[in-house]
Structure 1
Amino acid sequence: MLAIQTITTVSPIHSDAELAQAHRRLDELLAANAFDSPIQDVRDEVEVLAALIYYYEQRTRNPKEFEV
């Protein structure tokens, strides 16, 4: 198993470049089986990144659903 370091902050995704960075980090975590980590912060990072990626992709592909 790879050593997984947690990051200190996770922020919203505002651009395709940030989306690519989030995908790389999530891929890294999943390759290291982070969802099975005994460290709650690591499992939380997986969950939050997945949610942010999903939200950004939905918002940019279906923007009318997110109009206020």
Structure 2
Amino acid sequence: MTRDEIISVLGPVDEAVIADIAATDGTVQELREALAWIAADEVLVNEGRPLPTARVATLIELLQGPDEEE
């Protein structure tokens, strides 16, 4: 993904986040899927959607940031 593609999906974000996301070699579709899982994971599971792929899971982790409990 390019910087512009990432910003088109996420809006303005920190350059470090952009670099981390770009380094995953993910696609725009995978980034959108990660956002969908963040927004409504229970709904997607209840709909019978397959669990996120490894790359989508990585994007989810990057978008959610570090756990507050850590």
Q: TM-score, normalised by structure 2?
A: 0.28
Q: Which has the larger radius of gyration?
A: 1
Structure 1 length normalisation: TM-score?
A: 0.28
